[in-house]
Structures are given as structure tokens and as C-alpha cells.
Structure 1
């Protein structure tokens, strides 16, 4: 195996690891909501703020501060756009969950992203997807539908406007695809730690008003028990700082379309975690869906994807 191929596979594994970490976040958010009454947007704001603080501290200790400043000076607009887009994706996704339910929001937002990313990359490269690439995408999306609808994700029923919820889910998927593609272009030029630090800081600023809103409206702002604080720290450090660091490191050798397929491991890990810790039963369609996603990820060949042009 050549050095380039090993590097490509390592990048894909890093993106997969990010997806697995994101899959653990849903359970943590649910526990915080049930135990302390924290809203999804309040938790998201804390998640990005704690991640930004962690990354800035790491950059200082690891003497990466200069790389962070260089990143912001060299690509200020794209960096802020990716950071704000990451925050917007989270917000739109959580709101769509409240309006149309978890299963529909997940299928639309996560399912739309790899399709849009692949279309964009092939249009820019003026190529057509190979039968293998089409098969990988079809298997991944079929698996996503099966696992999202059957693996305990269908309990959250729509409560308000289904049409608005669908629109927000489409917007979330579109932004997710766009930020991944833009993150790919930035990852080719920047240190992953610097890129993650800058984008996360921008996202934290974007979501900070939700903390202010929670304070003004006398909504629960933060958990008081050590367990709740530990969960918030885990969300910020593991599912945000570490996960996005892995994503941007992986995007150095993995295309945006391949990355959006690899991160479909998120619902797989979430379903397995719910089965292990909450005792949720996995019906056979969910198991089949998980197997299809795993097979699709295993079949990915990042070096065969059309390259993005800057």
C-alpha cells in the first residue's frame, strides 16, 4: 500500500471517528434535557463555547497560537462562514426535530448532504459518478432511512408545522453539505487545530445569544450537578473540539462527498449506544440499515473521488 493510499485511508478513518463521536452526543443532550430541563439550543451554545475555550487553551499550550492567527488572517471570510454554518446546521436541525420528528429530520438533513456534496464535486470536476460511487451512495442512504425510522428514532412526533420542519431540515442538510465542502478546501491549506479553533470560535459567537435568551427568559441555563457538568464538558470537548478536529484532519485527504457518507456512522453509533445503555431493542430493519451504512463506508475510496478545485 502506497504512502498516499495509507494517508487517504487514515483520513477516512478520522472522519468515521468524528461520526461515531457525534452519535454519542444525542444521548447526552437527551439526558441533560430530562435531568436539568436544558433546551437543545442552550446545550448547543454551551457545546460550542466549551469547545472553543478548550481549543484556544490547547493552541496556547501546544504553541499553535501563531497558526490560529495566520489562519484568520489568510482566510477570514471562509473560516467565519464555515463556523457560522456549523452553528446554523445544529440550530436548524434541532428545530426541525421539534417540528417533524427525529426520524424525518435525520433522513432529510443527513441524507441530503452527501447527495448535494457529490453533485457539487462532479459539476466542478465535470465528471459523472461511477457505478461504484452511485452504489455506495444508494446503500448508505437506504441504510440511513432504515436505521433512522426503526431504531428508536421515531418516537419524537411532529408537534407544530410539518412543512416548516421539512424546509428547515432541507436547509440543515444543504448547510451541512456546504460547510463540509468549504471545510475541505480550507483543510488543504491550514493546520487542522487552527482551522477547528477558528471555526468553533465563530460558531460559539453565533450561538452565544441563545445563552443570553435563556437567562432573560428564566429558562434553565446550566446543570448544577457534577454529572450534568461532566456531560456538558464531554459534549464540548469530545463531540465538538475532538470530533471536528478529526473531521478537518480527515478532510485533508478525503473529499467532502466521501466525508458526508462516512459521517452517516453517527446514527449507527447512536442506535448502538441506545441499545447498550437504554435497553432499546434494535429491530431487524435497523440492523440491516446499520450493516448497509457500514458496507458503504467500507467501500469508500477517497482517492477515487473527484478533486475539489480551489
Structure 2
């Protein structure tokens, strides 16, 4: 079986690809919810569980062995719990307030939390990139309007859940930075997401339910959601983190709302407006700045091989 070598530069490429693929998740999830009537929490449960099963199925068909060491299964268990926490906390925040506020706090907090965890090794370029990214994200997503419709207590609880979701994603990112010898990227995503999806099933059944009437359109959308922004995207993300720093990984996740905004404008006719366009440009500048910095740090390693 061929082994894919991941260099620092290719690691950045995998992170960029994962961020772009994540951006299709919002559109596919929205279309699936509109078609089936499933709640956002139910969509997330299906996405996590079936996405994991697709990867596990690929591993079995390709004859790749499953991990056996205790260290590998400990990593899988921790990643499963963090993935379930991330999904559950994020969609709880969405339920309590709005998608824009939950997205702004969750995705915006992640690179900040990772940067705080790595503050001793953080450079000026990383800090600048995060500041640009936060400003761009706020302009792109939009600061939520209509505070009068949401009680202050609910808004505070929603923000707390959004930060909890960001902490779950950040912890998953930081942990993935330290690979386990007996565990590759696909097995990590496949097994952890399958278990994480199973952890969410009882909660979803007790709240919104998982039933829908399957037809060609709904099944196709479900498979696309579980394959592209889940199975493929997270496998690329974990692979990229083998050589790229966690702070860069969290920052590249900001490509998700950028890609989603572009797709919504092109396919759904949504208009960004002047503020949204400026925010998209700032986000793009932050990503380019971070990626260029990572390539520059990788440059001295090229000469030897």
C-alpha cells in the first residue's frame, strides 16, 4: 500500500483543502434540512455518524488494518468525545440564538484559543493573521441584529455554548498535532466520528428525532454531506496537522464561512454587500498571510533530501 508523505508545505495544502470542502457543508446541510424537514441537530448527527462509517467502510474494503494499540484507541475515544461535544454545543448555541452569532463566536474563538495554548511559540505573523481573520469574519458573517428578540440570558448562555464548541474543536486540533504511531488520519476520522455520531443519537432522538422519508434527492444530499465536507475534509485536516501547526489549522478553518458565502452568492443569489466583500477580502488576506508564513518556515527544510 503506497504511503503518502506529508511535508510542511503539503500539510498547508491539506488544511486549505479541508477548509474549502467544509464550506460546502452549510449549503448541503441547508438543502438536506429543507428537503427532509430534519432539524440542524439531526443533520449534524447523521453527518458525523455516516461520515465516519463511510471512512471505516473504505478502510475495510481497501484492506487496511484497524489500529490495535491502546494509545490509538485512547486517541480515537478522546477525538470522538470532542467531535460530539463540538457538534452538540454548536447546535445548542444555534437553537438559543442565531446561526450568525453561533458561527461568529465558535469559528472566531477557535484560532484564538489555539493561539493562547501556543502563546510561547506564537509569532507576530500568526497574531496579525488572527486579528485580521477575526475582523474579516465579523464583517463577513455580520454582527447579529435583533438583540431585542433574544433575552440577554439566552444570548449569554448561547455564547457560552459557542465558546464550548470552539474549545472542543480547538482541543481536537491541538491533540491531532501529536500523531500516534499506530493510527493514521483516515482511521482517526472514521472511527472517532462513527463513535461520536453514536453518542449524539440518544440526544437527537430525545429532542428532534431522526426520522425522514428517504428518496433519491434526500439520500443523495445526505451522502454528499457525509462524504465531501465530512469524510474527505476531516481526513485532509488531520493529515495536514501532522506537519502544519495547530494554530494554522484553526485559522484555515475560517475558509469554511468564506467558501460558504461565495457558494451562497453564486448558487443561491445571496448578496454579500460592501461589508461582506471587505470581510471576505480580509479573511483571504489572513489565510494567505498565515500560509506564506508557514511556507517560509518550511523553506530551510527543503535542501537536504
Alignment TM-score > 0.5, same fold: yes
Which shows bigger deviation, 6-15 or 104-113? 6-15
Are 1:140 and 2:140 matched, yes or no?
Answer: no
Aligned residues: 288
2:287 to 297, 303, 309: 297
Partner of 2:175 in structure 1?
Answer: 182
After superposition, where does 1:155-166 map in structure 2 within 5 Å? 161-166=154-159
Distance 1:220 1:250, change over 3 A: closer
2: distance between equivalents of 1:158 and 1:19? 32
2: distance between equivalents of 1:281 and 1:81? 40
Partner of 1:275 in structure 2?
Answer: 265
Q: CA deviation at 1:139?
A: 0.9
2: distance between equivalents of 1:221 and 1:187? 37
Partner of 2:82 in structure 1?
Answer: 85
Are 1:199 and 2:192 matched, yes or no?
Answer: yes
2:67 to 66, 69, 72: 69
2: distance between equivalents of 1:134 and 1:31? 36
2: distance between equivalents of 1:18 and 1:12? 10
Distance 1:169 1:211, change over 3 A: closer
Q: CA RMSD in A?
A: 2.4
Q: Aligned to 1:111, what secondary structure does the other structure show?
A: helix
1: distance between equivalents of 2:36 and 2:70? 40
2: distance between equivalents of 1:189 and 1:60? 16
After superposition, where does 1:1-310 map in structure 2 within 5 Å? 7-64=7-64, 66=65, 68-70=66-68, 73-122=70-119, 126-127=120-121, 129-149=122-142, 161-186=154-179, 190-210=183-203, 212-213=205-206, 219=209, 221-300=211-290, 301-302=293-294, 304=297
**CA offsets, 1:95-142, max 9 Å, x none?**
2112221221111111111111111123xxx44x33222211111111
Which shows bigger deviation, 158-167 or 193-202? 158-167
Task: State whether residues 72 and 180 of structure 2, in contact with CA within 8 Å, keep that contact through their aligned partners in structure 1.
Answer: no
TM-score by length of 2: 0.86
Task: State whether residues 204 and 210 of structure 2, in contact with CA within 8 Å, keep that contact through their aligned partners in structure 1.
Answer: no
Q: CA deviation at 1:78?
A: 2.6
Distance 1:75 1:220, change over 3 A: closer
Which runs of no fewer than 5 residues in structure 2 stay unpaired?
A: 1-5, 299-305
Task: State whether residues 54 and 237 of structure 1, in contact with CA within 8 Å, keep that contact through their aligned partners in structure 2.
Answer: yes
1: distance between equivalents of 2:231 and 2:148? 31
2: distance between equivalents of 1:209 and 1:156? 32
2: distance between equivalents of 1:89 and 1:42? 14
Distance 1:154 1:59, change over 3 A: farther
Which shows bigger deviation, 264-273 or 192-201? 192-201
Q: CA deviation at 1:7?
A: 2.1
2: distance between equivalents of 1:231 and 1:103? 23
